[in-house]
Structure 1
Amino acid sequence: NADQAQMNKARTIQDFLAFSARIDADMASMHDDLVQGASTYLIGELDREAKAWGQAHLYHDKFDGNNYILDAGYTTDGIGYWLNRELGWAYTPQDFQSVVDDENDEFFNLKMMEADYHDKTPYNQPHATDKQLINHYHVSGTVIVVSMVEQAMRFYQNGKLVNSFYVTLGRVERPVLPGHWTVQDRKSPDLFKSSDPPGSPYWYPDTPIHYAILYHWGGFFIHDAWWRATFGPGTQFPHEDAAGTDSFNGSGSHGCINMQEDQAGWVWDHTDWNTQILVY
């Protein structure tokens, strides 16, 4: 091949330096191709691994008699959709490497979620997986950690757990997004408007919200859900709400992190634009 021919013809130091430079360029090009291929492969692999684990650890819903996966946020219905969008915008080798880095972070988060599933520590106590996430992402100060399997939020300040809450996260088909997020917007009050048309099972009327913290563009908020009375494990699936079940409180959210109004107010008062959010 051309590389072999150039090496055979090399006689001077300049010839060998030129050959070395060509090899470096070829290796760099190969690396770029591998990274681009990996960025596509890993999205599918994350979806496959999440679905396999989910099917092996199904949640049986006594309310409707159906079984549900607990880790839908890691599938292409959740973060996989957004990774695919990020991949679609990638152009340079650095862009594709960024996608791979994000994918590897999601694999780490998935492993933490799987470990949390087997951890019987009460939701209102520090968790080993929380600490591993905080260390992995090198975050400090005010950190909100949200557990998908526990449907719980833990609020850390400088590494110390200072508060905890039960929450309601996204339903299987519109799950919460796992990952390391920062505050994108803060509104108090706000008015939520449905992006789905009337007649859709996901439509809702214009809804006043007291406290809204955007954690991911596309309408993913931490916010009060004053229409709910029941929060915590299982509320991301069809369930009976203590306030009287209807189409708006009888299942999980549309990807948001729902909280009791007074607890959402506490979180609002104790957070700012620098707050770090970890969902797993």
Structure 2
Amino acid sequence: MINKQVARIGVVGMVAFLFAMLFMVSPAGTFSARAATTDTGGSKVIDVNLTQQKLTAFEGGKVVYTTLILTGRAGLQTPVGTYHVFAKESPTTFYSPWPATSPNYYPPTHINYALEWKAGGYFLHDSWWHSAYGPGTNGWHDDPTYGWQDGSHGCISMPNVAAQWLYNWAPIGTMVQIHS
């Protein structure tokens, strides 16, 4: 009787453990939303103008938010096209796909709000290491707080307050239109 009860508790415990593992957050302690609420009606659109280095959020065809941004540098330009947000992470850590010997390498970087819109690590995200956004920031520029910097590695970065607003506003499926 005791052995059957111990076996039952062991099996129940193992099942409970496996079930709990299914609902754990990722190892970095991030919240990842890959199939949460979706915008299937297309009422929300994120418009990214690379020439103006400006992001505009539309809902039902009306402007609801706008912010200056910083996008991809020469050789690592932000891709042009129509995409959809397919993943959201808050917080997360970005890891460089380039080796430490590469001029494109960056150290592991904490990100508060990230919305992935193109496979391969293309995100809309906050960038605490920048204080200047807008025209000219996608190239070599003098950031008033952090000194000389280049544009991004292809991501669309913005101030933390803008990234937080966008993260809370844009569900999975939100259209992202990127153009010159």
Provide the TM-score with structure 1 as the length reference: 0.49
Is 1:140–1:159's contact at 8 Å kept on the other side of the alignment?
no
Q: Secondary structure, in 3 states, of the residue corresponding to 2:141?
A: coil
Matched-pair contact (CA < 8 Å) for 1:225–1:260: yes
1:239 aligns with 2:138: no
Counterpart residue identity of residue 224, structure 1: D
Greater strand proportion: 2
Native 8 Å contact 2:86 2:173 kept in 1: no
Tell me which protein shows more helix as a share of its residues. 1
Distance 2:144 2:165 in 1: 22
- 2:156 paired with 1:156: no
Q: How many pairs align?
A: 139
Distance (Å, rounded) in 2 between the aligned partners of 1:235 and 1:191: 23
Shift of 1:223: 0.4
User: Alignment identity in percent?
Assistant: 34
| Matched position secondary structure for 1:202 | coil
* 8 A contact 1:190–1:210 mirrored in 2: yes
1:202 aligns to what? 104
1:223 to 117, 125, 128: 125
Gaps of 5+ in 2: 1-40
Measured in 2, the distance between the counterparts of 1:268 and 1:184 equals: 12
Measure, in 2, the Cα distance between the counterparts of 1:182 and 1:274: 5
Tell me if the contact between 1:224 and 1:258 (Cα under 8 Å) persists in the aligned partners.
yes
Tell me the residue number matched to 1:262.
161
Superposition RMSD in Å: 1.0
- Measured in 1, the distance between the counterparts of 2:124 and 2:154 equals 10
Residue aligned with 2:147, SS: coil
2:74 counterpart residue number = 172
Provide, for residues 159-190 of structure 1, a one-character-per-residue CA deviation record: whole Å limited to 9, x for no partner: 00111000000001000011110112110011
Residue 146, structure 1, aligned to residue 48, structure 2:
yes
